[in-house]
A and B are shown apart, each in its own frame.
Chain A
Amino acid sequence: MPLLSMHGISKRFGPALALQDVSLELEAGEVLGIVGENGAGKSTLIKVLGGAYQPDAGEIILDGEPVQIKSPHDGLSHGIAVIYQELSLVPELSVAENLFLGHLPSNPLGATKRGELNRRSQEIIDLLNLDVKPGDRVASLRIGVRQLIEVGKALSRTHRARILVMDEPTSSLNEAEVAQLFAVVRQLKADGIGIIYISHYLEEVFDICDRAMVMRDGKVVGVRPTNEWTPDQMVHAMVNRPIEDFYPKVHVELGEPLLEASHLQLQGKLEDVSFSVRSGEVLGLAGLPGSGTSKLGEIVAGARKPSAGSMTLRGQRYVPRSPGKSIAAGVGYVPADRKKEGLLLEFSVAENVTLSVLPALSRLGVVNMKQKQKTAVAAIQDFGVKTNSPKAPVRSLSGGNQQKVLLARVHQPDPKLMVMNDPTRGIDVGAKVEIYERIGEFVQAGGAVLLISSELPELIGISYRIAVFREGRLVAEVEREQFSQHLIISYAAGTDETYDETYSGDQNGEQVGESA
């Protein structure tokens, strides 16, 4: 008898059918992966399971007994814990207080039992194998550790979780933290907890899940044990198109050097970095977190001043004093965190798309509103942004469409060079492919791209050359013919073998890259 089964679940929001006759089963001690593009219905499904939504049809059976989960609180008392993508920790409180938030052990007068709190917290910390103390303030911890504490919260309940749902748990973790999270998942699995694992990263699904279920348009399109899937089949099932299109290859004759940087220096972050990128070229910048690639991107984009060194752009001296000056000089920048650094979330799509091109749409500082509107509508169409209206706030768009808005904005002033930092982070496969195609068109038209990415398969898939950074130094430039994950990792990590193990989860990703 399975621990959990959901039968024929349907859920409708107005005219939109978010879930259509979805069924799944979960055994104790099993990890079930759910993948699908944004809007495929994954999150709606787990909200039904967690009690946040009531299904219109279908039933949920726990241990053979049909149950109704009326609220998230009800879900918890049934032993179903959902860890959402947005962390729900209180930064100002301690680890222990967060772990037991809402059910702190207390005496009849309401005072917290410190001793018991610390003892029980320590048990959970030990279980998670974390290097923190119960009294540490959460604000002082790295984001990856916080994600693990979020898992710990699910284990602290009196009704200890028997089903744990993780929604994109690794989107803000580095490789080492992912490894740590996976160790915890395996531990929980061994303890007989059933785990539902939602991720955009197929490599992770192959690494940690026993079975994988693919959803598309609110329906289940396939469930198989993980070892019976190939990455190709999985992507194909998700987007309904063949994998060959995943990393579109365009043949471009390389032109003149567009940007040349020599001896760039940034106190403690970058050490004597020189490189050049030619028109028509995608130069990948690879490196572990903290290797300096992001800082280098910021310098080229004018967002940060180097402490020494110089650059030329199309043969001219290029000293960007501000992002605005860089844009005027023909350098566009796609920052890594689209919500914090990229978009004005409360503002309309039209406002966002035209933000960087306002000087060109104006005379004597007065904006031509008609032309602005026209530009916005054209850009929205051109970049295939799915929105109800140009006036809709960007916040209401899906992640992939938000990223397209950002890309459209960067394109409007007609840049010659684009600095892109993780341009496909946390977006669905379909939108990823569209962004790769955009990059291809851009370099075909004579542009050049500096691509910073935490995903090696992506770097390998679309770069022409990869510059590898380690601790602020450019340690190697790898030509396309020599591309391999192993080689790049060994440069990035300084041929330390332990790093190869950390990266072992990428083996499947490599297949995706090479089959392209």
Chain B
Amino acid sequence: MTLDEQSATLPKHRAFSGAVGETMRRGSVLIAFIALCIVFSLLSPRFLTVSNWLNVLLQTATIGIVAIGQTFVIITAGIDLSVGSVVALSGMVAAVSMRAGAPAPVGILVALGVGSLVGLFNGFSVTYLKMTPFIVTLATLAMGRGLTLAVSSGQTIFGFPDAFNFIGGESIAGIPVPVIILLLAFLAAYFILSRTVFGHGVYSVGGNREAARLAGIPTVRVELLVYVISGLLAGLAGIILMGRLDAALPTSATGLELNAIAAVVIGGASLFGGKGTMLGTLLGALTIGVLANGLNLLNVSPFWTQFIQGAVIFVAVLSDSLSQRTAE
């Protein structure tokens, strides 16, 4: 069969099933999320309270911010496994520098700078050294964690300037600062991804790298930048986490990368690239947060919580592969 002719004879049918599959998949995160909320609110009277929801949002802030960065990377068909380590490393370096006398703003800049630098290293390795993202960031995952332990000598560092505690623990008009930061990061990322030339570049690199390059997209710059963004946001998450705990732990955020990737995938992004939205990622992160919160309220054993979270990821990826099949 020539593909050309097949599509010429069946254009309507194909376009239709593709469109329906796409809408269903996009809607499915939202539907799953709402269904989950309904179930939990029926089972637990404490679920649908303002304080519980602020708690969910607060719990989601770190993962959400990291997942936003991860979304850029995954849409280019890349992956950033180093984010958990970067969260810990950037927080720890900031903590160490503040213990040595640096003021809070410098500490914040240090954390963001460390995150960006690791991102730059990842991006450079992927673009100029043409290494596989999975392997590069697996290496920086280990190196980052090692550096964190080395910098802190394996110790937890306590006691930061008030500004940090403000970022991690205070509220503005009743809304916790980390939640405000999450929403601002989301809005900025949403705009960048869907409205800017760079955002279009991110999608096209994931859609077909070589075609994008020949069409004039600066693919190297785009790819480099998505890793820097991912690192920068991991640094931001590091600041929040450390403010919340009022401590920098060398082992904090271990395994965070998996939750962040899960949020992106549940949100409808494809690991093959070219697909994904910020709104989906936010919903994906909230789904994970709601799930953990609701199961906790219902006193489900943490062992089963982990199992159920895994099952949700499985279903999300399954619906992705099913919709892929209808599209083809």
Say whether A167 contacts B1, CB under 8 Å.
yes
Report if B45 contacts A (CB, 8 A): no
Report if B203 contacts A (CB, 8 A): yes
In B6-28, the 8 Å CB interface with A consists of 6-15, 18-19
Say whether A367 contacts B196, CB under 8 Å.
yes
Task: For A364, give the chain B residue with the smallest CB separation.
Answer: B196
Report if B313 contacts A (CB, 8 A): no
Task: For B198, give the chain A residue with the smallest CB separation.
Answer: A365
Say whether A344 contacts B204, CB under 8 Å.
yes
Say whether B3 contacts A369, CB under 8 Å.
no
Please give the distance in Å from A411's CB to the nearest CB on chain B: 12
In B185-217, the 8 Å CB interface with A consists of 195-200, 203-204, 207-208, 210-217
Say whether B3 contacts A86, CB under 8 Å.
yes
How many chain B residues touch A (CB < 8 A): the figure is: 39
Say whether A85 contacts B2, CB under 8 Å.
yes
Report if A397 contacts B (CB, 8 A): yes
| 15 residue pairs from A and B, CB less than 8 Å apart | A39-B9, A42-B2, A47-B1, A340-B208, A343-B208, A343-B211, A344-B274, A346-B274, A356-B215, A362-B196, A362-B197, A366-B196, A391-B19, A396-B11, A400-B4
Q: Considering residues A85, A86, A359, A396, which has the most beta carbons from chain B within 10 angstroms of its beta carbon?
A: A396
Please give the distance in Å from B19's CB to the nearest CB on chain A: 8
Say whether A398 contacts B197, CB under 8 Å.
no
Q: Considering residues B18, B198, B215, which has the most beta carbons from chain A within 10 angstroms of its beta carbon?
A: B215
Please give the distance in Å from A425's CB to the nearest CB on chain B: 12
Say whether B1 contacts A323, CB under 8 Å.
no
Say whether A342 contacts B13, CB under 8 Å.
no
User: Which residues in B have their C-beta under 8 angstroms from that of A16?
Assistant: 9-10, 12
Besides the known contacts A42-B5, A398-B8, 14 further A-B residue pairs in the complex with CB atoms under 8 A apart: A16-B10, A38-B8, A333-B214, A341-B211, A344-B208, A344-B212, A358-B200, A367-B197, A387-B11, A396-B7, A396-B14, A396-B15, A398-B5, A402-B4
Report if B105 contacts A (CB, 8 A): no
Q: Considering residues B1, B3, B203, B216, which has the most beta carbons from chain A within 10 angstroms of its beta carbon?
A: B216
Please give the distance in Å from A512's CB to the nearest CB on chain B: 22
Say whether A388 contacts B214, CB under 8 Å.
no
Binary per-residue interface labels of chain B (199-242) against chain A in the complex, 1 for a CB within 8 Å, 0 otherwise = 11001100110111111111000000000000000000000000
Distance in angstroms between the alpha carbons of A440 and B60 in the assembled complex = 59
Say whether B6 contacts A43, CB under 8 Å.
yes
User: Which residues in B have their C-beta under 8 angstroms from that of A365?
Assistant: 196-198
Distance in angstroms between the alpha carbons of A335 and B274 in the assembled complex = 21
Please give the distance in Å from A200's CB to the nearest CB on chain B: 9
Report if A78 contacts B (CB, 8 A): no
Looking at chain B's contact residues, the main secondary structure is: helix
Binary per-residue interface labels of chain B (284-303) against chain A in the complex, 1 for a CB within 8 Å, 0 otherwise = 00000000000000000000
Given the interface contacts A52-B1, A342-B214, does A18 sit within 8 Å of B9 by beta carbon? yes
Distance in angstroms between the alpha carbons of A18 and B217 in the assembled complex = 39
Report if A22 contacts B (CB, 8 A): no
Given the interface contacts A333-B214, A398-B4, A399-B4, does A13 sit within 8 Å of B10 by beta carbon? yes
Distance in angstroms between the alpha carbons of A356 and B110 in the assembled complex = 38
Please give the distance in Å from B269's CB to the nearest CB on chain A: 13
Say whether B214 contacts A303, CB under 8 Å.
yes
Binary per-residue interface labels of chain A (328-371) against chain B in the complex, 1 for a CB within 8 Å, 0 otherwise = 10000101000011111111000100011011001001110100
Which of the residues B2, B195, B210, B215 comes within 8 Å of A167, measured between beta carbons? Answer: B2
Given the interface contacts A13-B10, A395-B7, does A38 sit within 8 Å of B214 by beta carbon? no
Report if A327 contacts B (CB, 8 A): yes
Which of the residues A44, A333, A341, A388 comes within 8 Å of B11, measured between beta carbons? Answer: A388
Which A residues lie at the B interface, using CB under 8 A?
13-16, 18, 38-44, 46-47, 52, 84-86, 167-168, 301, 303, 322-324, 326-328, 333, 335, 340-347, 351, 355-356, 358-359, 362, 365-367, 369, 387-389, 391-393, 395-400, 402, 409, 413, 426-427
Say whether B198 contacts A322, CB under 8 Å.
no
9 A-B pairs with least C-beta separation:
A39-B8, A399-B4, A344-B207, A43-B5, A324-B216, A327-B216, A398-B8, A18-B9, A355-B215
Task: For A355, give the chain B residue with the smallest CB separation.
Answer: B215
Say whether A347 contacts B207, CB under 8 Å.
yes
Which of the residues A38, A344, A395 comes within 8 Å of B5, measured between beta carbons? Answer: A38
Distance in angstroms between the alpha carbons of A397 and B216 in the assembled complex = 23
Distance in angstroms between the alpha carbons of A82 and B218 in the assembled complex = 43
Distance in angstroms between the alpha carbons of A392 and B16 in the assembled complex = 9
Task: For A410, give the chain B residue with the smallest CB separation.
Answer: B215
Which of the residues B7, B9, B197, B216 comes within 8 Å of A328, measured between beta carbons? Answer: B216
Please give the distance in Å from B155's CB to the nearest CB on chain A: 44
Distance in angstroms between the alpha carbons of A359 and B1 in the assembled complex = 39
Say whether A366 contacts B3, CB under 8 Å.
no
User: Which residues in B have their C-beta under 8 angstroms from that of A362?
Assistant: 196-197
Distance in angstroms between the alpha carbons of A303 and B217 in the assembled complex = 12
Given the interface contacts A344-B204, A347-B274, does A396 sit within 8 Å of B198 by beta carbon? no
Please give the distance in Å from B268's CB to the nearest CB on chain A: 14
User: Which residues in A have their C-beta under 8 angstroms from that of B274?
Assistant: 344, 346-347
Q: Considering residues A52, A168, A398, which has the most beta carbons from chain B within 10 angstroms of its beta carbon?
A: A398
Say whether B196 contacts A346, CB under 8 Å.
no
Say whether A389 contacts B216, CB under 8 Å.
no
User: Which residues in B have their C-beta under 8 angstroms from that of A86?
Assistant: 1, 3
User: Which residues in B have their C-beta under 8 angstroms from that of A333?
Assistant: 214
Say whether A388 contacts B4, CB under 8 Å.
no
Say whether A397 contacts B196, CB under 8 Å.
no
Say whether B217 contacts A38, CB under 8 Å.
no
Please give the distance in Å from A265's CB to the nearest CB on chain B: 22
In B306-328, the 8 Å CB interface with A consists of 327
Task: For A333, give the chain B residue with the smallest CB separation.
Answer: B214
Task: For A338, give the chain B residue with the smallest CB separation.
Answer: B211
Please give the distance in Å from A414's CB to the nearest CB on chain B: 13
User: Which residues in B have their C-beta under 8 angstroms from that of A13?
Assistant: 9-10, 13
Given the interface contacts A84-B1, A340-B210, A397-B7, does A409 sit within 8 Å of B197 by beta carbon? no
Which of the residues B13, B19, B195, B218 comes within 8 Å of A366, measured between beta carbons? Answer: B195
Which of the residues B8, B203, B211, B218 comes within 8 Å of A322, measured between beta carbons? Answer: B218
